[in-house]
Amino acid sequence: MKILLIGAGGTIGSAVDKELAQRHDIIRIGRNSGDFNVDISDSASIRKLFEQTGKFDALVCAAGNVTFAPLDEMTEESFALGLKDKLMGQVNLLLIGREFANDGASFTFTTGVLSHDPIRSGASAALVNGALDSFVRAAAIELPRGLRVNSISPTVLVEAMGSYAPYFRGYKPVPAVDVALAYAKSVEGLQTGQTFHVG
């Protein structure tokens, strides 16, 4: 398969790359690195990406920004980052990408544990993750041509505990290599409309 991997240079993206590159042709995409560049918060940038990459069999997005801050410090502008970037960025990857997707192609998006197990300072992430998981369920029943869409919802990564440990006390972190298997299940399997929880 020809797989577009957005966020290929990140912790999850690198693990997904290592897992899927054994069997497939990976096109590595990042904001500032990789074979191609994209800013998922910008629809024009997304369309330009697809015009450059052409038809594809699977798209994986392991990218997306949100604001982490205590709720009493959050404003409408604070939420706007996650809504425009991680939420609508991934939604737009499907809306625009479906024009370039081969029959039977899949979209795999990244959400996270905070949609159903919140932490302090995680309101924006919880909002965005929950919205994406709901979008995946709803979009799946309307996609034509055998197109599929799933989301991966990992808990905190072992590799991220250096930065995030204070926020995730009591959580059992999961290695990125284990999270990558869920992406392989989404890309290489047949399920659609699902959120794969890891950890």
Write down the pLDDT at residue 145: 98
Name the token pair of 189.
Answer: 């399997």
pLDDT digits (tens, 9 = 90+) for 45-90: 999 999 999 999 999 999 999 999 999 999 999 999 999 999 999 9
Contacts 24+ apart (CB under 8 A), 143-146: 143/98, 143/192, 145/101, 145/103, 145/104, 146/103, 146/104
Q: Which domains does the chain have, with CATH numbers?
A: 2-198 (3.40.50.720)
Residue 123, amino acid: A
pTM of the full predicted structure? Answer: 0.98
pLDDT digits (tens, 9 = 90+) for 16-44: 999 999 999 999 999 999 999 999 999 99
Rounded to an integer, what distance in angstroms lies between the CA atom of residue 96 and that of residue 118?
A: 31
Name the token pair of 91.
Answer: 């939604």
